[in-house]
Structure 1
Amino acid sequence: MNGTGRQRIAMDTAQVSAVASYYRRSSLVLSAVADDLAAHDFGAWARQSTVRDADSVTFGPSAATYADMTTTLSRRLRVQAAAAAALADTLRNSALTMADGDGRAAVEISRAVPAAEVDGR
């Protein structure tokens, strides 16, 4: 803030839009990975294992653990995807709002100041 009580805001809208695009793409990748995890039956190998000897190990608990892990991971990835999408939307909207505000301000300034009186320096 300067001595007149006004604040200046500066935003590189192209840079903000690029960051928003990055988060949008990240959201899409996270969603795709979550979908892929949800579509596969992780732990099937453990359920289908038929080791039959005296030292036989039961793989059922491992199968359940793998299934739970992938369900949890898929759910967390979906939460992260939603957060990245929300951030992308917020960044994009703020850049659009700032650019629109600049455009409207320029129109108002040009109406208020006749072209002949504008100092072109």
Structure 2
Amino acid sequence: MVEKAKWTRIIYIIGVVALLIGAIDPLEGSVVIIAGSALLALSAYVTSDRHSKIFTVSLIMIVIGVSFMFYFSSLGGFGGTSALSWWWGLLILPFPIGWLIIIAVLIRRAIENKKLKSISKKLD
């Protein structure tokens, strides 16, 4: 059980770091963001975390948004002189929305953990 806890914690930390590093350049970093969200979803699933469904749905949203982003990029983009109108850009929205959901959950978890630690210190 201790071994399971160690490698899932390492995967969790690598996933969080990948999400943050990938956000530096969202187009080229999108593959890193997919990998990071997949690692978070895997870690949450293996540990039966209460946020595992949120991480999984966010991963699916990110993959869909990035897929459309790559597809539109291969067509030459949208808007301007392109054959595609700006409205096609709405299909990319699941990517940043999924990323923001994961970041919000991570921030909430950090705040909850900090509160729990401060409560346990007061009880000691």
Normalising by structure 2, what TM-score?
A: 0.41
Which structure would you say has the larger Rg? 1
Higher helix share: 2
Does 1 or 2 have the higher relative contact order (CA < 8 Å, sep 6+)?
1
